[in-house]
Amino acid sequence: MNLRNIAIIAHVDHGKTTLVDALLAQSGVFRANEATVERAMDSNDQERERGITILAKCTSVLWNGKAGETRINIIDTPGHADFGGEVERILGMVDGCVILVDAEEGVMPQTKFVLGKALKLGLRPILCINKVDRAHADPDRVHNEAFDLFAAMGATDEQLDFPHIYASGRSGWATLDLNVPSDNLAPLFDLIVDHVPPPAVQAKVNEPFQMLAVLIESDPFLGRILTGRIAQGKATPGLAIKALNRDGQEIERGRITKVLAFRGLKRQPLDEGSEAGDIVAIAGLSKATVADTLCDMSLDTALPAQPIDPPTISMTVSVNDSPLAGREGSKVQSRVIRDRLLKEAESNVAIRVTESGEKDAFEVAGRGELQLGVLIENMRREGFEVAISRPRVVYQTDPETGERMEPIEDVMIDVDEEFTGVVIEKLSARKAELKDMAPSGAGKTRIQLKSPSRSLIGYQGEFLTDTRGSGVLNRVFSHYEAYKGPIEQQRKGVLVSNSDGETAAYALWNLEERGVMFVGAGEKTYMGMIIGENSRADDLDVNPMKAKQLTNVRASGKDEAIRLTPPRRPTLEQAIAYIEDDELVEVTPLNIRLRKKELNPSFRKKRAKED
């Protein structure tokens, strides 16, 4: 049988997972009466809630087209730059890729990122201009933009001669010519079979077994499951294998207990095993991880693994030591937190965990606030209680000059014309440099900037306020440059509780003129907890527990019921972006609270004087 391995890559929200839904449906994976869900590949709870893909996942379809029956292994990848580590790993497993570009939005920063990775590996992408049925779609402009991007990224003549196809993933059709209507995805299936070469490693089917582990997960029944493409030989249940690290040192020995192949949305065990070129998942080892080589006992050389771009943002995750600690979560000890973080770093190669100099604290470095936010949200749902510091950028030192280098990001903003002035003004004050600005149709302007990563920490909320929720900001790590100097923070001060207890409606009602509240009446608070944002620039210690003094003398005026403005409760990402260096976010399964690192106001003032 013919075999093809492809990845679907694109910028966030350009329709990858929806297109995979249509490919699955039209290849006959589902029975006629089978209930199907939208975005079937987004199986994770957070993926469904956020509407984004977080983890790369494999599926497989059978296509009976012009070239006969072909099995196509498809890998759906995340579009968000924070999860770029997933894309970098899986591109080594495939022989071709379909790069999706939105027919209205055009080429975006993440398109450039994923395309660069694909071209570097020598893949010859297929350009799929998706969502051509949108009201403001301009497929010709997008096709030209894509060609310019290929050329700018240093594509070879062979890669520049890429085929293109127009599609609507949601409606489930594709066509090579917009003047020739289509009602199915057959043209896309046939193009994939024609353009993507079969795996070259199929010729090595008679050699000893060897495979590079690219994805890792754990199963309660099978234990550790490692997914990858078989580089040579055949994987069969019962085969004795060993795992080698990147340097060729042996990690462990074991036997393959199960060979699982992707068949539609399910993984099916193969009794007779699978041959070189196929993408499979293998169970049976307990220590091997991502980037390790699984091979026959007779082999001693490791397969080369793709280097992963370095993390750019880090934060400290520590044991929750607030007065309310241990009341809502079941996993609070530093040992348990450490094991969970190390387990995450093992499966997600873009995250790095190190012991911090502080007591019971760990330094977690990743690609961005969203990636770290997703990790903390997962831990929170598992019953962990932790305290998190403000994100910091990961600096590097120039080996030649010794000067400090900081990460720089490419920023692309789509915003209504009336808000361009305020956006450019705010970002320029944060040391961002304007590269290009042009109208993008429908009354919108596209602004392209080069900005230090640290100036974008905490900016998203301010940006949405400035653009009245209509702006879209996309960013992707570009490179390291010399340190740009200090950036002024423009956040207002906070209202800090000066005692422990439960908040009183009367006290909050009196405090409302001081600023915006983060808590409601009847909630537990403690000394040093942040209960609101001050309307002025400095921090203010307040008493949210003060009740109305009652007397036995009836008042002449009728007592009015107190009506409070609903509190502004920050989400986890908003809280992480909001806090300053002397503050922490307390995360428990039930609550997200903001607090000062130093709870006692006298000690805070003393420390501020020392600084």
CA distance 475 to 81: 7
Q: Please indicate if the annotation marks 21 as binding a ligand.
A: no
For residue 276, the one-letter residue type is A
Number of other residues whose CB lies within 10 A of the CB of residue 581: 9
Rounded Cα distance, 611 and 609, in Å:
5
Q: What is the rounded distance in angstroms from the CA atom of residue 572 to the CA atom of residue 424?
A: 27
Burial grade of 318 (CB within 10 A; 0-12, 13-18, 19 or more) = buried
16 annotated to a ligand binding site:
yes
Alpha helices (runs of H) in 325-456, residue ranges in sequence order = 334-347, 369-381, 420-429, 453-456
Amino acid at 113: F
Which strand ranges, in their side-by-side order, compose the sheet holding 164-168? 57-65, 68-76, 2-10, 96-102, 126-130, 164-168, 173-175
To the question of whether residue 18 is assigned a binding role by annotation, the answer is: yes
Q: 334-347 vs 369-381: helix axis angle to the nearest 10?
A: 130
**What is the C-alpha to C-alpha distance for residues 92 and 217, in angstroms, rounded to an integer?**
19
- Annotation-wise, does 68 bind a ligand? no
Q: Is 143 annotated as a binding residue?
A: no
Q: What backbone phi and psi angles, to 5 degrees, belong to 35?
A: -75, 130
Backbone φ and ψ for 433, nearest 5 degrees, come out as -115, 130
Q: Is 606 annotated as a binding residue?
A: no
| Residue 372: both structure tokens together | 């770290």
CA dihedral 284, 285, 290, 294 (to 10 degrees): -80
316 is in an annotated binding site: no
Nearest to 128 by CA among 83, 160, 162: 162
- Neighbouring residues of 221: CB distance < 8 A, sequence distance ≥ 6: none
User: Following DSSP, what letter does each residue of 340-357 receive, concatenated?
Assistant: HHHHHHHH-TT-EEEE-S
**CA distances, 313 to each of 126, 368, 514, 596 (Å):** 33, 6, 34, 22
3-state secondary structure of 602: helix
Tokens (6 digits) for 14: 């350009």
What single-letter DSSP state applies at residue 297?
T
SS3 content of the chain, % helix, strand, coil (to 5): 25, 35, 40
CA distances from 192 to 5, 99, 590 (A): 9, 12, 48
Q: In the 8-state DSSP scheme, what is residue 384?
A: B
To the question of whether residue 13 is assigned a binding role by annotation, the answer is yes
Cβ distance 374 to 571 under 8 Å?
A: no
Q: How far apart are CA 28 and CA 610, in angstroms?
A: 70
Whose CA is closest to 350, among 8, 550, 58, 55? 55
Mark the binding-site residues, compressed into ranges.
Answer: 13-18, 130-133
Mark the binding-site residues for GTP, compressed into ranges.
Answer: 13-18, 130-133
